[in-house]
Structure 1
Amino acid sequence: MIRQALIAGGGIGGLAAALSASRAGWDARLFERAPAFSEVGAGIQLGPNVVRVLHGWGLAQALQEVAAFPDRLQVRSAVSGQTLGELPLGGRAGAMVERYGAPYVTVHRADLQGLLLAAVQQQTDAKLHLERPLISFSQNEQAVTVKAISGPEVEGDALIGADGLWSTVRQQLLGDGLPRRTGHLAYRALMPQAQLPKRLRSQHVTAWLGPRMHVVHYPVRRGEWLNVVAIVEGETTGEPNLWDHSAHACDLARLLAGSCTALQERVAAMDRWRLWALHDRAPMQGRHQQAVGRVALLGDAAHPMLPYLAQGAGMAIEDAAELGHALAQALDPVFDVSTMLQRYALNRWQRNARVQARALRNGQIFHAQGLLRWGRDASLKLLGGKLLDMPWLYGAVPRGL
């Protein structure tokens, strides 16, 4: 029995879904709005829980060729510069591999998308359509039919909405309004480490925590580039769904006034800053928010979250792994597609909700002031790596590998 999965969105989540569906024995047909597969220049962190999925898909070597493998995670005070706590990561074969079976990885978004795209293109049963965003769909007990901005309608056995934060599929499926503005802004910059003074180069993940702000930096592209993200509380003007804006270093310097010299020096060394106004949704309340009938949501279309747990892309990839497991079972005539998509949703929504909630909580802790800030710093100094390690997150094993 040949079944066809229609996938809206060609980002990391959409390509991961296409790859997982193809590996499950389905034909995958992906519809992307843009004229080319591309990602805005920014880095992402992938915990061992996500790297295990990529390894299970046969992408270990491809990932190793483009990623960085930090040796440790350290947390520092943005005000004093003092180190508050550390977690050994171990690079390619150290602490994270020993404990969770895979390393902790930092990677450029475009590099991760590129290796997923290459893997999908190797699947003979995957078709990719550029400049064809989906604009509507209909479904019944036998099939789902989609209409794109051009070309004829297409019928398939399932529709996967992986079309991101402003998902068209979600709006038709759930009709629950637009994502909420969080009042947080993310400034991002990338720079070759060779262009930085030696004292500012780094091969580990560092988080600087300050009142109503924090800054994170880590290596990407085999450790040759440094990615810096500064998140501050504030608002920006312009269209809310235009999430990538040009930014000025002087604006960020003003927002970071009062932080230590070491942090200000690092931020001042970067150029070509970009600005994102962050949006999210409340943590998921039930499986109905991830699948209805023959239509399922994945990644940011289902559970957008703040980047305070570094798991946005990770949860999309975990979703794709679980989706592949459900689609493989749906090839058995005993199981219908709608039932298996409901099982996918049932197996994913609570974990996604927990990650969303933890990201919100981390934002409060990272940006703490007063007594909460004092308690945070004291706890990190006392417990260090025990607080920074997360077995509940890194130790989970998604199915469908």
Structure 2
Amino acid sequence: MKKQVLIAGGGIGGMAAALGAARAGWDVRLYERAAAFTEVGAGVQLGPNVVRCLQNWGLQQSLQAVAAFPAQLHVRSALSGQTLASLRLGVEMVQRYGAAYATIHRADLHHLLWQAVQPCAEVQLNQGITIDHYAESDGVVLIRTTDGKEIEGDALIGADGVWGRIRTQLLGDGPPRSTGHLAYRALARQASLPKRLRTQEVTAWLGPRLHVVQYPVRRGDWQNLVVIVHGPAPEDMAHWDHAANAADLAHALTGTCSALQDIVRAVPASGQGWRLWPLSDRPPLRHASQMAQGLVALLGDAAHPMRPYLAQGAGMAIEDATQLQNALSMHDLEVPLRLRRYALNRWQRNARVQARSQRNGNIFHATGPMRWGRDLSLRLLGERILDVPWLYRGHQPGQMA
């Protein structure tokens, strides 16, 4: 008889976990607290390490239909507008790492994964249901939903995000920490922007205590923009996503070059608006037990929320799901050992990405002599700094203890 995995969370990580578990031969019961399977947010960058995972699931054509594939990454000074360094993407990434570098709307990536699980008879998707708590007994895990329903399974995967309840019960380590950074996000149709502001490439603008990233999504028809600045999170974190104050954003960009300010001002002029997200994270993982214990495992932001300065949040969730698939396929092992294998194969890589993301934020937002040194290094070393071979080559599993 097939084993059954219960998944909390229907976002990108949950959908990827459902696809991986189904391909491992498990029955899947996924529970999403929202009334519909949707994704908020804007763009996502997918390095070749992540695109390769999607290819291995047979999703290359689906990705090709909705993503953009920029040819270049440029790093520019937010103060002067000068280009500091560039990295060839496009064909260069394919030749070097076996897959392209893609940029995609978060909702399109979620829909791509949702479509992939639709034909899977072993996957049951449940909306409007929140898992309140779980209990393990006699080799099974029992979940109770907030409406009092009890469901039994052979394993439970917490993919319910940075504020997820499964982690709270499993680790009891309190809420995530505020980073002190705010992300203003917007999408604009390229055709609604002046020609000089349209782009089919990735550009990162680095300034003191801030940076801006812009890139194409939806096959290049739309442009995604993210402005990250230092600032306190709103007091009402229960309503963490709200319409951004354009005046606050304009004030944060005081002193930056006119080219950058023109891009930011063009968003409301195009008929679109800015949204604000306070950023939260957790310290890098320290050991495998933070990702799996007994019949319960964590995946994606529930396990390792990270700052967006390496553009790998969604990517690490998808990598997690591919390794979860491998572990669940080990039918000669008891389920706790399979989940332990999953955690052992993932925690160190995730911890490295978390730490590098935090470090990148310090570098991106540098001031004074550190900023001057950063800019000089970028001018001198260029691609040698911007390329990340250890990341883009993909997952290198560790050894099981």
Q: Do the two structures share a fold, i.e. TM-score over 0.5?
A: yes
Q: Which residue of 2 aligns with 1:347?
A: 345
Query: Helix, strand or coil for the counterpart of 1:36?
Result: coil
- Would the aligned equivalents of 2:319 and 2:395 in 1 still touch at CA under 8 Å? no
- Verify: 1:119 aligned to 2:120, yes or no: no
Q: Report the counterpart of residue 29 of structure 1 in structure 2.
A: 29
- Secondary structure in 2 aligned to 1:96? helix
The within-5 A match list for 1:288-299 is 288-299=289-300
**Structure 1 residue 205, shift from structure 2 partner:** 0.4
The residue that corresponds to 1:388 in the other structure is: 386
What RMSD over aligned residues (CA atoms) do the two structures have, in Å?
1.0
Uncovered stretches (5+) of structure 1, i.e. residues with no partner: none
Q: Does the Cα contact within 8 Å between 2:349 and 2:395 map onto a contact in 1?
A: no
Q: What is the distance in 2 between the residues matched to 1:236 and 1:171?
A: 22
Shift in Å, 1:251? 1.5
Q: TM-score, normalized by length of structure 2?
A: 0.97
- Indicate the residue corresponding to 2:325 in structure 1: 324
Separation in structure 2 between the aligned mates of residue 396 and residue 360 of structure 1, nearest angstrom: 20
Report deviation, 1:41: 3.7
1:207 is paired with a residue of what secondary structure?
strand
Q: How far is 1:245 from its partner?
A: 1.3
Contact 2:234 2:278 in 1 (8 A): no
Match in the other structure for 1:97: 94
Q: Return the offset for 1:151.
A: 5.8
- 2:177 aligned with 1:194, yes or no? no
Once the two structures are superposed, the pairs formed by residues 42-191 of structure 1 within 5 Å of their partners are: 42-90=42-90, 94-150=91-147, 152-191=149-188
Equivalent residues of 2:16, 2:321 under 8 A apart: yes
How far has the Cα of 1:398 moved from its partner?
6.5
Q: Which TM-score applies when normalising by structure 1?
A: 0.97
- Give the whole-Å Cα distance in 2 for the aligned partners of 1:231 and 1:141: 48
Structure 2: distance between partners of 1:353 and 1:243: 26
Distance 1:370 1:41 in 2: 33
SS in structure 2 of the partner of residue 270 of structure 1: helix
Once superposed, which parts of structure 1, at least 4 consecutive aligned residues long, lie more than 4 Å away? none
Q: 1:322–1:398: 8 Å Cα contact kept in structure 2? A: no
The question of whether the paired residues in 2 share the 8 Å contact of 1:209 and 1:215 is answered with yes
Matched residue, 1:366 = 364
Deviation per CA, 1:359-396, whole angstroms, max 9, x where unpaired? 00000000000110000000000000110000000002
Residues 3-18 of structure 1 correspond to what in structure 2 (within 5 A)? 3-18=3-18
Amino acid of the residue matched to residue 265 of structure 1? D
Matched residue, 1:250: 247
Distance 1:368 1:169 in 2: 36
SS in 1 for 2:121: coil
Distance 1:141 1:58 in 2: 37
8 Å CA contact retained: 1:146, 1:153:
yes
Residues 240-263 of structure 1: CA deviation (Å, up to 9, x unaligned): 243311112221111000000000
Offset at residue 133 of structure 1 (A)? 1.1
Alpha carbons 2:6, 2:28 under 8 Å: kept? yes
Q: Which amino acid aligns with 2:371?
A: R
1:314 aligns with 2:315: yes
Q: Is the 8 A contact 1:318 1:398 kept in 2?
A: no
Q: Which amino acid aligns with 2:171?
A: L
- Residue 141 of structure 1: CA displacement? 4.4
Residue in 1 aligned with 2:355? 357
Between 1:231-240 and 1:130-139, the stretch displaced more is 231-240
How far has the Cα of 1:152 moved from its partner?
2.7
Q: Which amino acid aligns with 1:228?
A: L
Please tell me whether the aligned partners of residues 41 and 190 of structure 1 are also in contact (alpha carbons under 8 angstroms). no
Contact in 2 for aligned 1:166/1:241 (Cα 8 Å): no
- Alignment partners' CA distance in 2, 1:115 and 1:237: 33
Structure 2 Cα separation of the partners of residues 23 and 397 of structure 1: 19
Structure 2 distance, partners of 1:186, 1:160, is 28
Distance apart, 1:71 and its partner CA: 0.7
Q: Any unmatched runs of 5+ in structure 2?
A: none
Q: In structure 2, the residue corresponding to 1:222 is in which secondary structure?
A: helix
Equivalent AA in structure 1 for residue 374 of structure 2: R
Match 1:235 to one of 209, 232, 235 = 232
**AA aligned opposite 1:123:** C
Q: Could you list the per-position Cα deviations for residues 198-244 of structure 1 after superposition, in whole angstroms to 9, with x for gaps in the alignment?
A: 00000010000000000000000000000000000001323224331
Alignment partners' CA distance in 2, 1:224 and 1:145: 46
Residue 218 of structure 1, aligned match among 209, 215, 218:
215
For residue 291 of structure 1, what is the amino acid of its counterpart? A
Letter of the aligned partner of 1:65 in structure 2?
A
Cα distance, 1:73 vs. partner? 0.4
Equivalent position amino acid for 2:128 in 1: E
